[in-house]
Structure 1
C-alpha cells in the first residue's frame, strides 16, 4: 500500500479509500438489490485492512446507519482504532427507507449534534476522524452549520471536517465564514469525479488545490461503467437508480471514453480499473473512494500502483470528453 498526506493536513491516508455504501441491512435502506450483509461486509473490510487500507468512508444514511454498525464492529474486531481513519457524513435522515422527521436531517446545530451522536454510537467509537456534510443545506444559515461543526472539533468528537457534492461558490463561502470567525475550515472535499464526469475540473478541483484541501472523490469508476463493457449486466447496474440517473443520459459520448480505457488497458496488459485509478492519481487526486462487492476487486486496485500513464496516454483518455449536466451539487 502507498500512503499520502490528505491535502495540507498531517493526516496519512491510503491512496484509495474503501467506500462502505454497499454494506448494510437490505431491509433498512435503498439499493437493496446489491447490499452485502454483515458477514459478507466483514470479509471485505478484513481484506482491505490486510492490504494496508486505513481509510474507510461511510454515512449515517447508508442503509439507515447499518453500514456504520457493520464497519464499526469490524474495525473493533480486526484493527486498532488509532490505526484507521473513519469518515462518515451527516445531512440526510438515518431513518429506514428514506423516512424523515423534523430536525433529524439537514445541517442545523440540532440536527448535526443529533446525527453525530447517533453515528458515534453505531460506529462504537469516541471520535470521528472526518465528518463530511453530505450536501449543502439551503434552509440553514451556513454560519450556524460552521459554528456547530467547529464545536464538534473543539470537543474532540471530530478530528477533521469535510464537504461533499456542492458548487464551488458554496464551498468557498463556507471556508470564508469559518476563517472570518476563527473556526475550523473544511480539510477535504468528496466530490463527484471520474473519467466520465469531470465538471469539477472547472472550479472545484483548482480551488481545492490552491487552498490545500484534500481530494477524495466518490464514484471514481463511475459505478463500474468505466471498467466494464457498457452492455455488461450486473446486479448493481440493474438496480442502482442513482447511478442510472448520473450516467445513462450521456451513454453515447461516454462509451467512446470507455472504449479508449479498454484499448489502453490491452496495450499495457493491465485492467481497466488500474487505468482509471492511475488516471485519477495523475490528475492530483489524493484518495479516491472505491466501493466493492467482491474481494478480488481490492487485489485489482493494488495493481494500479505499478502503472504510470504518459502525457500522451492522458491526452488520449481526455480527448473525447464533452460537458455534462452537473450531477451531485444539488
Structure 2
C-alpha cells in the first residue's frame, strides 16, 4: 500500500485502515485471538499500518488483542486509533459521554489494554449532545501535551459541532481534529450534505466506516445470505438492492469482486478518504486489500453516482439550481458579446 497524510498533519498512514470491531468472540461472533493475529499479520505484510479500534469494541477485548500483538519493536510502525465515549463501566455514571472525566479515565484504561504509553489518534466516538465542545477540545489538547495522545479526531458528530470545535481550537491554539469518521458508502451518502463539505473545508481526512454497508455491497444479500441482518434493515430494501446490482455489474465487467468497486468508489470522491475495512476472517481482508489496485474510470463513477444519488436538501440542491441558472446567464452573455 501507499501512504497518505492524515488530515492537516504530517502523520503517514496506509491507504486502507484496518477495522477491529470484530476482534474478540463476545456475543457469539467475531474473530478469536489467533485469527485476529493472522489478519493483522496480513495487513502489516501488505504495508498496512493504520489500525482502528475503540474502548467499547468487544468490551475491551479488541484493544487487548491488539496490545498483545504489537510488540515494542513494532509500536512506532503502527498508527493506533482508538475512541472514547461509550459506556464500558456500568457502576460509574461518568463512565460514558464526552466529558473530561470520562475522557481521562477511558484513555488510561485503553493505554493499559493496548500495552502502550501513547495513542496515536484518539477519536471522540459519538456526540453526547451534553458536553460543551470547548471542554472536549481542551481535554484532548491536554492529553496531547502530556504525550498520551498524538492527534485528535472525531466520529459520528454533527457538522456544526465539529466546525465550531475546530474554529475554537484554531483561535485558542489547541490541537484540532484531523480526521472525521462517519458511515459512508454507496448505500449511505447523506454525509455529502454537510459533513463531507465541512471536512474538506478544514482539510480533515474522512475515514468511512461500513464502506461495504455491512457486506451488502459485496452482493451477499443478493445471493440470499442474510446472516445476522434484521429483515427491516435499509440494506435489504429495493433501492439498496438496485444499487448493489449496479456494483456487481461493474465488478463483472472489470473482473474484480464487488467489494473492490464499492471500496474504491469511496476513495475517488474528490476528498481525502481512507475507508475502514473490517474483517473477522483472513479471506475477507485479503480480498479487500486488492481494492487498492483498482481505478474506476469516469463512466463507472457516473453510473455509480447516478444509481445511488440522493437529494442534498436545502441548501445543497438550491445551490445546484442556482449554479445552473448562473451558467445559463453566463452562456447568454457570452453569445451577446460575440454578436456585438
Report whether the alignment pairs 1:277 with 2:266: no
Residue 229 of structure 1, aligned match among 213, 217, 220: 220
TM-score normalised over the length of structure 1:
0.89
Cα deviation digits, residues 276-327 of structure 1 (max 9, x gap)? 12211111343110101211222222322222111111110111225499xx
Tell me the CA shift for residue 100 of structure 1: 5.7
Q: Which 5+ residue runs of structure 1 have no aligned equivalent?
A: 27-31, 326-330
What is the TM-score with the length of structure 2 in the denominator? Answer: 0.86
Match of 1:60 among 44, 55, 59: 55
Query: How does 1:133-212 map onto structure 2 within 5 Å?
Result: 133-212=124-203
1:170: how far off? 1.3
Cα displacement string for residues 123-151 of structure 1 (whole angstroms, at most 9, x for unaligned residues): 00000000000011222222211111110
Helix, strand or coil at the partner of 1:132: strand
Task: Specify the structure having the higher radius of gyration (Cα).
Answer: 2
Q: Distance in 2 between matches of 1:258 and 1:277?
A: 13
1:309 and 2:313 equivalent?
Answer: no
* CA distance in 2: counterparts of 1:247 and 1:152, whole angstroms: 39
Match of 1:266 in 2: 252
Please, which moves more after superposition, 114-123 or 46-55?
46-55
* Greater relative contact order (CA < 8 Å, ≥ 6 in sequence): 1
Question: 2:87 maps to what in 1?
Answer: 93
Do the aligned residues in 2 keep the contact of 1:69 with 1:122 (CA within 8 Å)?
yes
> Counterpart of 1:226 in 2: which secondary structure?
helix
> In 2, Cα distance between the equivalents of 1:246 and 1:155?
44
Name the count of aligned residue pairs. 311
8 Å contact kept, 2:179–2:204: yes
What is residue 296 of structure 1 aligned with on the other side? 283
Note if contact 2:277-2:285 (Cα within 8 Å) is conserved in structure 1: no
Provide the residue aligned with 2:2 in structure 1. 2
Cα RMSD for the two superposed structures: 2.0
Structure 2 stretches lacking a partner, 5+ long: 313-340
CA distance in 2, matches of 1:245, 1:116: 36
Q: Distance in 1 between matches of 2:22 and 2:94?
A: 27
Moved more, 138-147 or 156-165: 138-147
- The alignment partner of 1:187 has SS state of strand
Please, which of 77, 83, 107 is the counterpart of residue 77 of structure 2? 83
Q: Name whichever of 304-313 and 262-271 sits farther off.
A: 304-313
SS at match of 1:63: helix
> Can you list the C-alpha shifts for 1:257-276, whole angstroms capped at 9, x where unaligned?
10000000010111111111
The structural deviation recorded for 1:221 is: 0.6
Matched, 1:319 2:306: yes
